[in-house]
Amino acid sequence: MSELDEFYVHTVDVATHQGSSGTGPIYAANQTVAVYREPIRRLVRDETGAEVISETTLYAAPGSASAFTPGSRVTVDGATCTVITVSVLDVGALPLPAHVVVSLT
């Protein structure tokens, strides 16, 4: 159990982006992930370096990082958002809790 688990008081549904086909993007089946949701607008850079406005930031346990690949669809309070960036904060030997930060459109 992570030191931050008690803070993950929200849930989101994630359809992980798995690639593309001739008919469009391919997504995995939805999974529910416990997160802390921060509805704040920020300017972030996507994986190509382009500046994009993020409307929501999610914080989650490190084990959920693979669900949030860039381009994944995330349903937050009935609205569908797209993952812009994912940062895994691995603290190594420091006595701090590791976590994942996800920026959404």
pLDDT at 52: 97
Rounded average pLDDT over 89-95: 89
Q: Is 17 a residue whose pLDDT tops 80?
A: yes
CATH of domain 5-104: 2.40.10
Q: How far is CA 34 from the centre of its chain?
A: 11
pLDDT at 1: 63
Residue 101 exposure: Cα atoms within 13 Å on the Cβ side: 9
Q: Is 2 a residue whose pLDDT tops 90?
A: no
What confidence tens digit (pLDDT) does each residue in 20-76 have?
A: 999 999 999 999 999 999 999 999 999 999 999 999 999 999 999 999 999 999 999
pLDDT at 4: 87
What does the chain look like in DSSP terms, one character per residue?
A: --TTGGG--EEEEEE-EEEEETTEEEEPPPEEEEEEEE---EEEE-TTS-EEEE-EEEEE-GGGGGG--TT-EEEETTEEEEEEEEEEE--TTSSS--EEEEEE-
| Sequence spans of domains, the chain | 5-104
